[in-house]
Structure 1
């Protein structure tokens, strides 16, 4: 397929964005400034990719001609470079196709990540804590920042529930695949007879919602100040700073207690509610996608088992794409890159098919 027309459109847009970033008032609106700078970076990378692809194609043609030369040494050198150039062109073409696809604006956003212990009692809470740490290490490896904005520690260790806000470049783009049920199979530390148990935790990843995405009406909110509870130290147990907010039309209820004041907890609770409402809005839009894509990332169904961590066999399997890795220690230390890349590759193929590309 000839992409030259699309590339010219991107060049014209890049010139417009170049002008926008010279505006001294650009960051008077921080969100708009961040959006413009992100678009500038994407277009710059896209055009550099196109130039690199065109250069590789030119070099390939030249090498094919040189391979026909009567000078055997020259012909051999040219012939040796051809497979490498062909592979480079194939890789760049795939990347270019994906970069030209319509982009979901939510991919550039920060994210709220909610983890809840599921079936399995104390072991489920411990597992939820390990999964939370896994995402914290992953955030560090991607140079993102994270903040725990709500947590309910379990007396056995780990958490019955935890919510983190993760900020950085394209956070939701890389974390969006993590929503669903995560299952662990192993012998718990509390098991005396060496039996393998199966426990679960639920992960929900929600793009940060903006005021323009979701309108919260105060008359639709029930806000209560409550006493903080659960393990967590003297401050948490002795103050009435916790805030519980219920969104009456949907019944969504959020309680925040990690902040040092009611005001902080109210702001965090509203942020979580706004993200949950935006997630629901996105879910409905995703129902218009193909069934295959919904099964990968579109539904974000919290009841869907997406991944199993089998400790006895040091095996992690993502059930949506049938991908298996044995890098158990690396995964729990935040090395999710292999899993993410495999999921992205499948999604890219589906998007290209949907787009007729």
Structure 2
């Protein structure tokens, strides 16, 4: 019987995977040639994903044989009907694995792998959505939640841009943070932890302005972007329109009386960035460029994922801002993440920065094998 071509390919890759695995375990090799070690580690990660698919593929082929056996030998019509439906599902799953494998095999190893990207600093953007003043107040609450979390893990943050909410309610319409490690030597994945926060955060509670005690639903959006440099994204300065203006926020006489605030508009992508928190126009320009590079990088990354159709079925962590990811229900003291159907009944603790448990669950789910 002729062997399946994909099985033959998988067997070759499995052998290569074990060879690379033995090679990267060698600590001397790691210390002597770090560049080669990094390349091997990237290939190891890619092959590991392919071998997860291989295991799924083998199990599905065994299930297909069992279904075919029932269809050929069983005389019970009901069993045959079950086997027929099962075979139909298995063939669909096999087709998906074959396509997924082809995508991974045809995708070159990126110079920026997931591990490297996860270790980057992050730009965190919070914006009010539906709900008016109440949404602005919730932006402030989520900001406080993240700030308390940053303190727990030892990260520092800086406000790049802030736009206050309505005159009545306060809070923020928009706030952008630059989050980074306290020292270069500090370990920990900033973007790797925060990337799962991207999406729509919904709150259900009684607003302070509600006189009849009715629960209202409001929403905000969170976007987490990896910090990138000139090497990753090359921006032509002739494609940027730079405007300066006086800051409208708090910050003292100097900030408000000089044109230190900067607005950048990138014509090709139509992305606009503002920075008005610093006293120096030059520093505000640098911060705005940092945000602009991160947004362009994220847009390009999402575009490539869509083009290659390699979004995972389990958890899409590409920063899609239209997807409702989490609900904060104050009357029931509950926070629910809709991607993993997980609820934590300690909303007070969660809003006080205790969000690592949810992040760990999302990370574990994201790294798990493809579910059918």
Scaled by the length of structure 2, the TM-score of the pair is: 0.68
**Which residue of the other structure, out of 273, 287, 310, is the alignment partner of 2:292?**
273
Structure 1 residues 278 and 266: CA distance shift in structure 2, 3 A: same
2:180 corresponds to which residue?
A: 167
- Partners of 1:130 and 1:235 lie apart in 2 by 29
**Which residue of the other structure, out of 130, 137, 148, is the alignment partner of 1:137?**
148
Task: State how 1:221-240 maps to structure 2 within 5 Å.
Answer: 221-231=240-250, 233-240=252-259
Q: Which consecutive unaligned segments of at least 5 residues does structure 2 have?
A: 1-13, 42-112, 182-187
Q: Secondary structure at the match of 1:298?
A: coil
**Which residue of the other structure, out of 112, 116, 119, is the alignment partner of 1:108?**
119
2:331 is the alignment partner of 1:317: no
- Partners of 1:248 and 1:11 lie apart in 2 by 48
1:73 corresponds to which residue?
A: none
2:325 is the alignment partner of 1:306: yes
Structure 1 residues 285 and 15: CA distance shift in structure 2, 3 A: farther
In the alignment, is the contact (CA less than 8 A) between 1:110 and 1:208 conserved in 2? yes
Q: Which consecutive unaligned segments of at least 5 residues does structure 1 have?
A: 22-31, 40-101
- Partners of 1:251 and 1:141 lie apart in 2 by 37
Deviation of 1:5 (Å): 3.8
Task: State how 1:124-273 maps to structure 2 within 5 Å.
Answer: 124-154=135-165, 155=167, 156-168=169-181, 169-231=188-250, 233-273=252-292
Q: Deviations over 1:65-96 (max 9, x none)?
A: xxxxxxxxxxxxxxxxxxxxxxxxxxxxxxxx
1:122 corresponds to which residue?
A: 133
Number of residue equivalences: 276
1:82 corresponds to which residue?
A: none
Deviation of 1:234 (Å): 4.0
Q: Deviations over 1:196-226 (max 9, x none)?
A: 1111111000000121110011100000111
Q: Secondary structure at the match of 1:278?
A: helix
Deviation of 1:104 (Å): 4.1
Structure 1 residues 327 and 219: CA distance shift in structure 2, 3 A: same
Q: Deviations over 1:120-154 (max 9, x none)?
A: 11111110011111111111211212111211122
Q: Secondary structure at the match of 2:369?
A: helix
1:84 corresponds to which residue?
A: none
Deviation of 1:4 (Å): 5.6
2:21 is the alignment partner of 1:10: no
- Partners of 1:116 and 1:313 lie apart in 2 by 25
In the alignment, is the contact (CA less than 8 A) between 2:162 and 2:175 conserved in 1? yes
- Partners of 2:18 and 2:322 lie apart in 1 by 44
Deviation of 1:106 (Å): 0.8
- Partners of 1:289 and 1:232 lie apart in 2 by 46
- Partners of 1:146 and 1:115 lie apart in 2 by 14
- Partners of 1:4 and 1:214 lie apart in 2 by 35
Deviation of 1:292 (Å): 4.1
Task: State how 1:25-174 maps to structure 2 within 5 Å.
Answer: 103-154=114-165, 155=167, 156-168=169-181, 169-174=188-193
Scaled by the length of structure 1, the TM-score of the pair is: 0.71
- Partners of 2:172 and 2:254 lie apart in 1 by 18
In the alignment, is the contact (CA less than 8 A) between 1:316 and 1:324 conserved in 2? yes
2:89 corresponds to which residue?
A: none
Structure 1 residues 116 and 7: CA distance shift in structure 2, 3 A: same
